[in-house]
Amino acid sequence: MRKAPLRFALLFLSFLLILSCKSDDGGPMEDPRAENLKALGTSAEDLLSDDEYTSIVVEIVYANGYRPQQLTIDSFEIFLNDRLNKPDGISIVETVIDAPQGKPFSIQEIREIEANNRTRYTVGDEIAVYVFFANGSSSNDTANSVTLGTAYQNTSIVIYEETIQNLNLGDFFLVEATTLRHEFGHLLGLVNIQGDDIHSDHEDPDNNKHCVVEECLMYFASTNPGTIPNPVKGDIPPLDELCLADLQAKGGK
């Protein structure tokens, strides 16, 4: 008789444990990050159109001393409004973190930094994008080649801010803003990331996933320090007509 209450308590505890591993609809609980852990280019239509998501939030993450210029942020918001169909709005939020250790950073380390510091994820009808302005360089850099930025997941970008700051190429804003827009262009599927662009023939055969048009934002040289003029002059390169047509085919402007 004394064992009955104990048996009941154990059964009740088991029931609670089962409930704790279920979602509200009775199925297994999903990782809230799942929509932001997909392959590069797979969310291009979600970012561009309002079919699934009617708003977007871009989370800019950085350590003290590595915040992008305000002009870069402001012009980027204009760029997004020009290209994305988000009737419920486009917002940019900032998250300041302790400077990650262990630079230069591999992409795996960049992913770990994101996992530890990203706070905004795709929820409901709002899609979220993460941009980390790194306090270090890429581990792939060599004496003759450096990386300014990388789009590495469907809604994830790293900008190697320390590298950009150390380049001393003249107009710092143009390099920083161009790199940010270029990498976001890869999130939008440019060029032919998923092999579904309607104008796939403008993909550069010598520099895959980039545009063959030299004046285009997505031309490989726009973010290649070896080909960026010194000092930097002019304006941020625009998207050429073929890239724009590819974005419009996926629901963009």
**What contacts 24+ positions apart, CB below 8 Å, involve 99-102?**
99/63, 99/64, 99/65, 99/66, 99/135, 100/63, 100/134, 100/135, 100/136, 102/136
pTM higher than the cut 0.85: yes
Of the candidates 109, 50, 32, the one whose C-alpha atom is nearest the C-alpha of residue 251 is 50
pLDDT score, position 143: 86
In terms of CATH, what superfamily is 39-250? Collagenase (Catalytic Domain) (3.40.390.10)
Using CB atoms within 10 Å of the CB of residue 237, give its burial: 0 to 12 exposed, 13 to 18 middle, 19+ buried. Answer: buried
The maximal CA–CA distance of the chain, rounded, in angstroms, is 88
The tokens describing 121, both together, are 């994820």
Residue 91 near residue 59 (C-beta atoms within 8 A): no
Residue 226 near residue 199 (C-beta atoms within 8 A): no
Q: What is the pLDDT along the chain (253 residues), one digit of tens a residue?
A: 444 444 444 443 343 333 333 344 555 557 878 999 999 999 999 999 999 999 999 999 999 999 999 999 999 999 999 999 999 999 999 999 999 999 999 999 999 999 999 999 999 999 999 999 999 999 999 988 899 999 999 999 999 999 999 987 777 899 999 999 999 999 999 999 999 999 999 999 999 999 999 999 999 999 887 676 555 667 899 999 999 999 999 999 9
Instruction: Report how far residue 128's alpha carbon sits from residue 36's, in angstroms, rounded to the nearest whole number.
Output: 8
pLDDT score, position 229: 59
Backbone angles phi, psi at 247, to 5 degrees: -70, -40
For residue range 63-121, list pLDDT tens digits in order. Answer: 999 999 999 999 999 999 999 999 999 999 999 999 999 999 999 999 999 999 999 99
Distance of CA 86 to the CA centre of its chain: 17
pLDDT score, position 140: 95
pLDDT score, position 230: 56
The tokens describing 113, both together, are 């930094």
Secondary structure (3-state) at 35: helix
Locate tokens 């055969």: which residue?
A: 205
